Amino acid sequence: MTEVLRYAAFTTDPAGGNPAGVVLDADALDEAAMQRIAAEVGYSETAFLTPVEGERRYRVRYFSPLAEVAFCGHATIASAVALAERDGVGDLVFETAAGTVPVATGGTGTVEASLVSVPTRSRPATGDEVSRALAALGWAAADLHPDWPAHVAFGGVEHLVLAVRTRERLADLDYDFAALGELMAERGWTTLQLLWPQDGRTVHARDPFPPGGVVEDPATGAAAAALGGYLRAVGRVAEPLRVTVHQGEDMGRPSLLRVDVRPDDPRVTVTGAATAIPA
């Protein structure tokens, strides 16, 4: 019988963060079995790991309850912490559909993992993309922050990045699931990265996830990596920068993600803790 571990990522509290399923030995599972298990687990993603040639190197596939996704940050953090708790802390390499992702684990007591994303990129969103997203969200153009332009950012998968003027606007999220899901499927976006910038180093985020059959993700490592690429693209990384992302607060599952960006490197480091969810 396949053992499925359950971890909450980007938190030290099993009741917080983003839950992920983790299968540490998926050798015997085909794609249909992985999809079935992910649907049964019901989390936004479940990661399936298969050892490959090389020390502490794994092929990783990620499945939402509805479909396979190329990369998932919170399930990567959860998988790395699960491996560290089983085998000891150290460096890992994950081979994903989005590319090779090095992961470092460390710490005593609370284990943290830091993933290094594939090279990020970001482009301005089109007027049509923004207007359709706003219509689905029930937001107005005046709600958007004038100093944070709308972009489509990539950190393994694509995300539409929209920043708002006020924390209250971010908290009041009640969107048209079908309409937003249709737009995201058409454009190939995995989540929306909705932000309120508290200051230049602290942001609050919410991430609708209709393509995965999930209303909202409480922590999104892939979007955090894409955020780093966005910050570089819009000229906010003149020197090495660490940004703290608070996510999941409005869902009652607070999460904390640390994002490290350099002006001379398109890759982004995303760090967080993870903890096992009791059976």
Which pLDDT value is given to residue 158? 97
Superfamily of domain 5-116: Diaminopimelate Epimerase; Chain A, domain 1 (3.10.310.10)
Domain boundaries, the chain: 5-116, 121-266
Residue 54, pLDDT above cutoff 90: no
Q: Any idea how long the chain is?
A: 279
Cα separation of 37 and 108, whole Å? 32
Which pLDDT value is given to residue 13? 97
Which pLDDT value is given to residue 279? 82
Phi, psi of 170 (to 5 degrees): -65, -40
Domains 5-116 and 121-266 share a fold: yes
The per-residue pLDDT for range 228-240, each reduced to its tens digit, is 999 999 999 999 9
Cα separation of 269 and 275, whole Å? 20
> Cβ neighbours of residue 142 under 8 Å, at least 6 residues apart?
none
Residue 161 Cα to chain centre, angstroms: 13
Which of the residues 45, 112, 158, 216 is marked catalytic?
A: 45
Give the CATH number of domain 121-266. Answer: 3.10.310.10
Beta bridge mates, 163: 195
The per-residue pLDDT for range 85-138, each reduced to its tens digit, is 999 999 999 999 999 999 999 987 889 999 999 999 999 999 999 999 999 999
Residue 214, pLDDT above cutoff 90: no
Percent of the chain residues topping a pLDDT of 70: 100
Residue 1, pLDDT above cutoff 90: no
112 is catalytic: no
Q: Which amino acid is at 92?
A: L
Which pLDDT value is given to residue 109? 81
Which among 6, 21, 7, 10 has a CA at the least distance from the CA of 254?
10
